[in-house]
Structure 1
Amino acid sequence: MQIGYHASHEQFSPRDLLRLVQIAEQSGFQSILSSDHFHPWSQQDGQSGFAWSWLGAAMHATTMEFGIVNAPGQRYHPAIIAQAVATLDNMFPGRFWIALGSGQALNEQITGTGWPSKELRHKRLEACADVMRRLWKGENVTRHDDIRVQDAQLYTRPSCQPTVYGAALTVSTATWVGTWADGLITVNQDIPTLQAIIDGFRQHNPNGKLILKLQVSYNSSVETAVTSAWQAWRNNTLGHMLQADLPLPQQYDAAGIHITPRHVAQQVLAATDPSVYVDAIRRYKQMGFNKIILHNVNREQDSFLAFMGREVLPSI
């Protein structure tokens, strides 16, 4: 099992994140998960660095494994993402993986082509995954159905087929992801729901890899940890339906104004006791997760990384 650190491009500038992932490696983290946003979740302290520019610099500055959650099909053509993945693998063999999701209007509607239904987004995403895998094999790809591609072929190809994870927040999506992805990536929820998501994925992919993005908040006290998580991350606790369909950061701010710190505390692990983090990681490992990515959702990244390196990671 690997313990990773989440590089949140919608919260921090690329320059800050480059420094933080280097500290993360020094602290004992083994991998990095990069977000891929055009807009942040909030106008307050929001950022919007281009993750693909940043990845080359970050991978050069460290020796860790990197992954990214990406939504091909609208903002990005899958052939371009396939080329980007192949280029990173060429420079850093075996150190990069990708997770594919159907995306949010927050990032994808900038193309001005409308925001499709979830059913259409799923069909498009599965087609994109097929296009990317065929390009990585060296095929000349043309298809005109759920995604349009004409005579695309990669001449710089990856050394081996990259691992493709599918992103899912619900049981139905996880079950579908199991039909086409190599693995599943999801976020922490209550244990029964999380187990149901795993079971749904396992129906079609009993041996696929599992990644959990564990949202936490570390600060000087539990109360401060909850408050700082509420200040920085409450808009991301609106639920998967709103999070998929709201198109603008100011609309997230408007929707998030009614969210309470208590609600955030139910979705984010806020703690100062290292044993709480150790116990949570061990519990998720027992559930079958191969990678656990810790996302400290508040602004205090340096103290979090120091705490993890000193108090938590040596115990795992």
Structure 2
Amino acid sequence: MTAFGFHASHEQVHPSALIAAVERAEQAGFDVAMCSDHLVPWSKRQGQSSFTWTWLGAALQATTLGFGTVSAPGQRYHPVILAQAIATVSAMFPGRLWVALGSGEAANEHVTGQGWPRKDVRNARLRECVDIIRALLRGDEVSHDGLVTVDRARVWTLPEELPPLFSPAVSTETAAWAADWADGLVTIGQPVPVLQRIVDAYRGNGGRGELALQVHVSYAETDAEALAVAHDQWRTNVFSPPLCWDLDSVAGFDEAAKHVTPEDMRSSVFVSADPEEYVNLLRGYADLGFDRIYLHHVGTEQSRFIDTMGERVLPQLRKV
């Protein structure tokens, strides 16, 4: 059975308000949750970006939900530090954390002062980091010389249960590449045929574990209000790779989005005021075999969305 989750957007909402939101989401009937892991927001209008690993401890303590997040080891996060964070959270909350390991975006990573590598180099660096993190989570002492350097590192507080390390993928090429190492796959909402090809690329190349999907939505009392919210908050997120990977500042994203129209939002955000349309959308995604589907309402006010999903959408989905 598909689990339906709430996505907590650190770029848009103060961390204290996000704790209240995930508590409300659990009470409304959401099964699981996930959150972003960024240093900066996508737009000055969003205006937040709290530290994921501090917040996760509080969120897991405040709820009984399982959580996931997408982090990028290799530049802003040294893999040893990220392994320690993963191990500590997993030791305190066994079986409730998954982490997707990605190659990152320049906006978050450039702060180290290192150059921004080509995508093939970033993938190679990520693959090194995956092996380093896995070894550290097993309790091994690790030394490594490559695109990242590790000198006699060991994580001392270890989880009893190793958390799954997922791969994020928005293309069939990345999904096929990840099948060799990932414990699961997470992708974003796209047309059903595109998602089917991503799933097939992962499974067809031996990909194991669960499939997770994050869906950006905008809900309001009217379609016009929902579209206005999406355009205000999420118009800097309509850009495809490599642009979204390589822009390195909030100002750059805001400049690039000046010509994005409200109607352009429909390509990346599901915009609707009709709960029945959400039911139909999510049933279609569940039929593709996704084990977890996370809903991200792209507005900053979350309560109305959470309550509507809990009252009028999630019960319908569980009837199937």
TM-score by length of 1: 0.98
Q: Is the 8 A contact 1:40 1:48 kept in 2?
A: yes
Q: Is the 8 A contact 1:4 1:32 kept in 2?
A: yes
1:314 aligned residue: 315
- Whole-Å Cα distance in 2 between the matches of residues 220 and 99 of structure 1? 34
1:83 aligned residue: 84
1:102 aligned residue: 103
- Whole-Å Cα distance in 1 between the matches of residues 76 and 113 of structure 2? 10
Please tell me the residue identity of whatever aligns with 1:80.
I
Q: Partner of 1:240: helix, strand, or coil?
A: coil
What's the offset of the Cα at 1:133? 0.7
- Whole-Å Cα distance in 1 between the matches of residues 208 and 126 of structure 2? 22
Please tell me the residue identity of whatever aligns with 2:42.
W
Q: Partner of 2:315: helix, strand, or coil?
A: helix
2:280 aligned residue: 279
- Whole-Å Cα distance in 2 between the matches of residues 83 and 159 of structure 1? 14
What's the offset of the Cα at 1:213? 0.2
Aligned ranges for residues 216-227 of structure 1 at < 5 Å?
Answer: 216-227=217-228
Report the CA distance shift for 1:54/1:239 in structure 2 as closer, same or farther (over 3 A): same
What's the offset of the Cα at 1:79? 1.1
Aligned residues: 316
- Whole-Å Cα distance in 2 between the matches of residues 299 and 19 of structure 1? 13
Q: Is the 8 A contact 1:97 1:163 kept in 2?
A: yes
What's the offset of the Cα at 1:66? 0.7
- Whole-Å Cα distance in 1 between the matches of residues 156 and 175 of structure 2? 33
What's the offset of the Cα at 1:145? 1.2
Kindly provide the CA deviation profile for residues 255-287 of structure 1, in whole angstroms up to 9, marking residues without a partner as x: 001111111012211112222111111111110
Q: Is the 8 A contact 2:184 2:207 kept in 1?
A: no
Please tell me the residue identity of whatever aligns with 2:288.
M
Kindly provide the CA deviation profile for residues 104-155 of structure 1, in whole angstroms up to 9, marking residues without a partner as x: 0010001011111100000011111111111111111111012211111121
Q: 1:92 aligned to 2:93?
A: yes
Kindly provide the CA deviation profile for residues 2-59 of structure 1, in whole angstroms up to 9, marking residues without a partner as x: 1111110011111111111111111111111110110100011320111111111111
What's the offset of the Cα at 1:184? 0.7
What's the offset of the Cα at 1:223? 1.6
Q: Partner of 2:126: helix, strand, or coil?
A: helix
1:49 aligned residue: 50
What's the offset of the Cα at 1:307? 0.5
Q: Partner of 1:42: helix, strand, or coil?
A: coil
Q: Is the 8 A contact 1:215 1:269 kept in 2?
A: yes
- Whole-Å Cα distance in 2 between the matches of residues 249 and 59 of structure 1? 30
Q: 1:203 aligned to 2:191?
A: no
What's the offset of the Cα at 1:207? 3.8
- Whole-Å Cα distance in 2 between the matches of residues 289 and 7 of structure 1? 19
Please tell me the residue identity of whatever aligns with 2:277.
V
- Whole-Å Cα distance in 2 between the matches of residues 154 and 307 of structure 1? 43
Aligned ranges for residues 86-235 of structure 1 at < 5 Å?
Answer: 86-235=87-236
Please tell me the residue identity of whatever aligns with 2:195.
L
Please tell me the residue identity of whatever aligns with 1:138.
G
1:257 aligned residue: 258
Kindly provide the CA deviation profile for residues 208-237 of structure 1, in whole angstroms up to 9, marking residues without a partner as x: 311000111100111211111011001011
Q: Is the 8 A contact 1:202 1:208 kept in 2?
A: no
RMSD: 1.0
Please tell me the residue identity of whatever aligns with 2:77.
Y
Please tell me the residue identity of whatever aligns with 2:62.
A
Report the CA distance shift for 1:206/1:102 in structure 2 as closer, same or farther (over 3 A): closer
- Whole-Å Cα distance in 2 between the matches of residues 310 and 300 of structure 1? 17
- Whole-Å Cα distance in 2 between the matches of residues 32 and 61 of structure 1? 12
- Whole-Å Cα distance in 1 between the matches of residues 24 and 126 of structure 2? 35
Q: Is the 8 A contact 2:180 2:207 kept in 1?
A: no
Please tell me the residue identity of whatever aligns with 1:212.
L
- Whole-Å Cα distance in 2 between the matches of residues 254 and 20 of structure 1? 31
- Whole-Å Cα distance in 2 between the matches of residues 182 and 9 of structure 1? 25
- Whole-Å Cα distance in 2 between the matches of residues 299 and 141 of structure 1? 42
What's the offset of the Cα at 1:200? 1.4
2:289 aligned residue: 288
Q: Partner of 1:53: helix, strand, or coil?
A: helix
Kindly provide the CA deviation profile for residues 42-98 of structure 1, in whole angstroms up to 9, marking residues without a partner as x: 011320111111111111111100111000000001111111111111111111110
Q: Is the 8 A contact 1:75 1:108 kept in 2?
A: yes
- Whole-Å Cα distance in 2 between the matches of residues 231 and 184 of structure 1? 30
Q: Is the 8 A contact 1:219 1:300 kept in 2?
A: no
